[in-house]
Amino acid sequence: MTLRFLGPVLFGLLGAASAVALHHMDSIPALILIAPGYLVQAWLFETHRALGGFGYQATMVGVSALVWTLVILGVAVSARFLVSKLRSS
């Protein structure tokens, strides 16, 4: 599977996981998963641009899924690059 197809699949899975984590923030793994969205929502609150209701939940889930997708894909691309360099030398 190429990384081009892994991105949307990973984003969808992490979005679903973040949506579940939003309603189970009493556990440490859920809190770590939703933390990037929580940080952005806190910043929006401080700058008086916070969204309420569904916008709050969409911000928390969307930002968390995006951040963790980019982190995982960044690690995967770096690992692929290092493996290709090690094989060529």
Question: Considering only CA atoms, which of 54, 61, 68, 58 is closest in space to residue 16?
Answer: 61
Phi, psi of 2 (to 5 degrees): -80, 160
The domain of 58 spans 3-88
User: Whole-model pTM?
Assistant: 0.89
Distance of CA 88 to the CA centre of its chain: 33
HSE (CB half, 13 Å, CA atoms) of 63? 19
Residue 86 has pLDDT above 90, yes or no: yes
Q: Count the domains in the chain.
A: 1
Q: Model confidence over 31-52: pLDDT tens digits? A: 999 999 999 999 999 999 988 8
| Phi-psi domain of 52 (left: phi exceeds 0; alpha: psi -120 through 50; beta: other) | beta
